[in-house]
Chains A and B, each alone.
Chain A
Amino acid sequence: MSTYKWIIASAFAVVGGTCAAANVDGPHLGRVVTQADIAAWDISIAPDGTGLPAGAGTAKQGEPLYVARCAACHGIKGDGQVGQTAPPLAGGFGTLTGDKPLKTVGSYWPYATTLFDYVRRAMPAIQPESLTNDEVYALAAYVLYLNHLVGDSDVMNAKTLPKVKMPNRAKFFVVYPNKRL
């Protein structure tokens, strides 16, 4: 950093004084943008729900969507049966300390917000960026429902989704920065 600053500052000094003083510490070739400019890219969801958009959906609304958009790869029940090409989404409770752990949204994932974040950015794999926010909420609700974590009429939205209790959450612990295993 300091080396870069020195190099750039020197270069400007040699060229001679045409740059404003505020600009001598770096190239400054990025374009300053507004929140409106970047809204379509500002998609990350924090585990406390920060970033979740307006919209809502229930498992009942999510079921036909799931059948149409997800089941071909994840299976009709999303439970990791043989022949499915995508990871299992449901079930696996009580398997994590056995010989064949089944890591699913229900048995493994620590945060429900991750469901919204991931489905919106990446699913369905053959047509990402094609679901509305309402559809993403409905699909999140349906996957949680398949795991018996919400009822079929529970509304998932920016307020309720972060509050869904994920059963494996307490099992997670952070290694960074100093723990060694």
Chain B
Amino acid sequence: MTKRSTFLATDHIDVVAGNGLMSRRHLITRGAAVTSALGAGSLMALRSSASAGSEVLTIPEWMKVPGRDFEPYGTPSRFEKLTRNPRTPLQFLDGMITPSGLHFVITHNGVPDIDPDQHRFLIHGLVKRPLVFTLEALERYPRSSRIVFLECAGNSRALYSEQPVKGDAQSIHGLLSCAEWTGVSLALLLDEAGIDPRAKWLLAEGADAAAMSRSIPLAKALDDAFIALYQNGEPLRPANGYPMRLMVPGYHGNMNVKWLRRIELTEGPMMTKDETSHYSMLLKDGRVAQFKFPIDGKSVITRPSPGLTMNGPGFYEISGLAWSGNGKVVKVEVSADGGHSWADAALSEPVLSKALTRFRLPWHWNGGPAVLQSRATDDTGYVQPTREQLIAKRGNNAFYFNNAISSWAVAASGQVSNVYV
């Protein structure tokens, strides 16, 4: 390990887009950096003598006494005060996985207190044999795990408002999560029930006090839907569907019915309250777009973002999340000048279909005003639209499925705020 030089140990770095965006190579390669390809845009080294001075290192108190015993079920450090409200605090998290205790929660009449021994799951309708399953029975089926994102279709709806709202990544974009879900293939269970060829849809219903129900195309169920029993390695949390929930990867959150108790195979959609009066888009001409299911390609910068104050000019890592309900994220571009110029961000592995993808890009902030944006492209070729493009198509009253590019302004003071460009 003699050659441990990183870009920080070099004299110059190269700027690849306006307002100080640096090449992602600086993040993903070590020592490979910054050779002779330094153009006119080069910056001086970022080796800042951060708080040069006189902190004398002492032995901390917690090294002088034995530590306390561990807890039976671990909780965060008392110095960490992360909360969901009920949105996930994206700006304080990193990586691609949402901790279960911070997973956003939307309910339609509260979180039911389900006794798993009494819970039953029914498959009926257009099947040869209606079947009832206990949790104990489902636990015996072959399982598989998949890391997938969940996003409420109403996430980011603040971007439909005429004026930019005051808010942070949590309040504007926090109806978003990604977890490892483990469970049983729905196709396998439907196969055991015997699918009547007339069946083209199914109705999925929860055991909550709203008996929340949604119609889902049978084709999706047979493609990759599953019944999740585990979330990030442990049984589902009550607010996220304990003891079982439907997962329809890539489809908007509400369709991933929590507390799943019933699936009825049908010829057509049932037109439930939540798929007619809600989760439909009212367009500017008065037409209503119904049964939009997958979340389109989207991204958001989580750091810097409102509420996180910049600590003076110099080096920062811009980081955020990108996802698509239609497949894999193949590219995320970042702008620091409000969309005039863009640089490709590094994508953190693993990059998975229908999962959150973490992106990163180094940035030298010169201390002046900047507008940070990110733009995702997925493997269908779809490119995340600007807010202007989205609203030109839909108007301001569509409410759902806002996947427009989001803009954070960085002021000279270091404050970050939600803006439109």
Contact = CB atoms under 8 A, between A and B. Distances in A.
Contact of A31 (B132, B187, B270): B132
A8 B276 CA distance: 41
Given A110-B271, A111-B276, A128-B211, A96 B188 contact: no
Interface size class of B (residues with CB under 8 A): 35 or more
A27 B193 CA distance: 12
A31 B131 contact: yes
Nearest to B281: A181
Interface stretch (B79-87, B290-298, B300-308, B335-343): B290-298
B379 interface: no
Interface in A125-140: 125, 128
B185 A103 contact: no
A16 interface: no
A109 B276 contact: yes
A33 B132 contact: yes
A44 B277 contact: no
Interface in B117-149: 122-124, 129-133, 137-138, 140-142
Interface stretch (B56-64, B67-75, B96-104, B260-268): B260-268
Interface string B162-192: 0000000000000000000000010111011
Contact of B277 (A35, A109, A122): A109
A154 B57 CA distance: 84
Contact of B291 (A27, A30, A122, A176): A176
Contacts of A1: 185, 187-188, 191
A118 B286 CA distance: 24
A114 B290 CA distance: 15
A13 to B, nearest CB: 16
B413 interface: no
B30 interface: no
Contacts of A114: 271-273, 276-277
Given A30-B137, A30-B189, A111-B271, A7 B142 contact: yes
Contact of B211 (A87, A109, A122): A122
Contacts of A34: 130
Nearest to A119: B273
B217 interface: yes
A175 B289 contact: yes
A83 B142 CA distance: 51
A46 B275 CA distance: 13
B370 to A, nearest CB: 31
B289 A181 contact: yes
- Most central of B123, B132, B269, B270 by chain A CB within 10 Å: B270
Interface in B195-211: 203, 205, 209-211
A74 to B, nearest CB: 14
A44 B394 CA distance: 32
A55 interface: no
Nearest to B131: A30
Given A30-B137, A38-B124, A47 B108 contact: no
B284 A103 contact: no
A131 to B, nearest CB: 13
B273 to A, nearest CB: 4
Given A7-B142, A44-B270, A128 B209 contact: yes
Given A30-B131, A128-B210, A177-B217, A171 B137 contact: no
Given A4-B188, A26-B192, A121 B290 contact: no
B249 to A, nearest CB: 16
A168 interface: yes
Contacts of A173: 287-290
A105 to B, nearest CB: 8
B122 A38 contact: yes
Contacts of A27: 137, 140-142, 192
A8 B123 contact: no
A121 B132 CA distance: 20
A14 interface: no
A163 to B, nearest CB: 15
Nearest to B274: A118
A121 B210 contact: yes
- Most central of B280, B394, B396 by chain A CB within 10 Å: B280
Interface string A150-181: 00000000000000000010011111110111
24 contacts: A28-B192, A30-B189, A31-B131, A32-B129, A38-B130, A41-B261, A44-B213, A44-B266, A44-B270, A45-B270, A96-B397, A99-B396, A101-B282, A101-B397, A114-B271, A114-B272, A117-B272, A118-B273, A122-B109, A122-B212, A128-B210, A173-B288, A176-B291, A177-B219
4 tightest Cβ-Cβ pairs between the two chains A and B: A30-B131, A29-B137, A121-B211, A118-B273
Given A125-B209, A171-B288, A175-B293, 7 more contacts: A25-B191, A29-B140, A29-B141, A97-B285, A122-B209, A181-B292, A181-B394
Interface of A: 1, 4, 7-8, 25-35, 37-38, 41-47, 87, 96-97, 99, 101, 103, 105, 108-111, 113-114, 117-118, 121-122, 125, 128, 168, 171-177, 179-181
